[in-house]
Structure 1
């Protein structure tokens, strides 16, 4: 029986992640067996490792929902795919076909949805079972190391393009220079916006990476930048920080009749008044996940080079060195760590 090393989150306690040897999974008639080539480490993987996440997890579970690879086996009822195809996979591993959101094509918002890496086994291992409906073809010119980051790019596309409708000439502040924040900033730049990305002193390295996307990098208070044009504030604030309190900062920075889009998770309770939301007539928009057409658009952007993820890739580590890859992201020494099978 073929066994492979896997990065497993085995319990809710802090630090409950270890390497385990797992058998190659069997697949159903409508699945493929994907041999992973590269998997990105997401902030949510780190949150499960440090046990400060706010979503239910089916322990034990293999981490990893950002991945690209090659089809190794094809289920008996799968059409349009064959062994050897280069693919990426969406994250909605389990959905209810009869849910009203799914019927509208918004299966990412199906409340019963289960994703890779928390609901079912993810891709930080050699083989992962994937429903064929989740697959997208990876263009030949796009390396797997970059293709595995399609998912966070789709998170940014969903937040900036689909949910916020950024327009050329908009002045946009992005809070939080993690992977999603930097990609949101890059996506806003593609939309023609002026963009400032804001972080702390400890984020200096990641803010310097954001500069490569043509963004203004700000440590601390972004008020003067937000007010620079006409004294009223930014047209939009994208809150990509992993905290709740940054919403208060967003309310201060956004202009009257502006928009705040919250894409970062933060389980802390709010300890401030939302009156400015009313007084300034602000639109507050949540943004979660993505769906099929967004993946196709993002893959086209990556393949054409219009969206370049190379600056955010801090290194590629074998699965056996997962802890190093996690630590470097957690400490802010790299923006994005990528894993590969041993």
Structure 2
């Protein structure tokens, strides 16, 4: 596995990420325009979605049942596992919910880097894996916020208190049950899920008939665009590192250990549902990565008490580079061993 890690370390994708981190640490004036950063993010979401949709057109629905069930199992079980672990720390419940939602959801860029890793090694994987990326986005957000609403409602019932401000009641979910409909809407129709699902459906409808039109931009240029995106992610991660360090070594240890535990669970689930080695690796990446787009967006509006420097700084500053350097090769070696 050491050789795999070394090969991954010297890949352009990882090296440009490290360059971005270094630029942030030395306080370089290197910056990406906000518009360009947003455009690169949209490109990656559309490219992964449309490529997955084109591959999906080759599969029958019955072949997807087991992988979908495995993905949903991971999406609901990982946040519960994280909350159980955090019970033994001194972290408050709101920040624990933030970490559960973030680490139960997925990093689309880590997934994209894993695809590049597999393609570099000429290892195939199931085309429907991109469908599972979309399915994995929301369950952790739902289950984490549901547990928060239940806890809040139980606490208020015990105290016999009723929110005096209807707006506050709506925010806590009292007006519409445990989960605010806005949370549901944002989770289902947020940018990342909408672009992934929409482009995936379009790719599934057009199939490989549109390959001549799609290939030059969304397939041939994918690796190059990913390099630029990871350079920008390196800049952001480097800026977040000081925020993570001030929370102590325990939180950093959490950001290093949870991906390996959750990713190993994903690898096992991938093997159980009958995926190929490439598919098992990607299932491990889905389980071991953490969101810094969809989950933080939902948390900012739904759990304002949670500290973004913890869940976002840890996800982007620790777990994301750890997965790029160590996680992906580890899931690959484990997948080969199990398969």
TM-score range, shorter chain: under 0.3
| TM-score, normalising length: structure 1 | 0.26
Select the structure that is richer in helix: 2
Select the structure that is richer in strand: 1
| TM-score, normalising length: structure 2 | 0.26
Higher normalized contact order (CA 8 Å, seq sep 6+, divided by chain length): 2
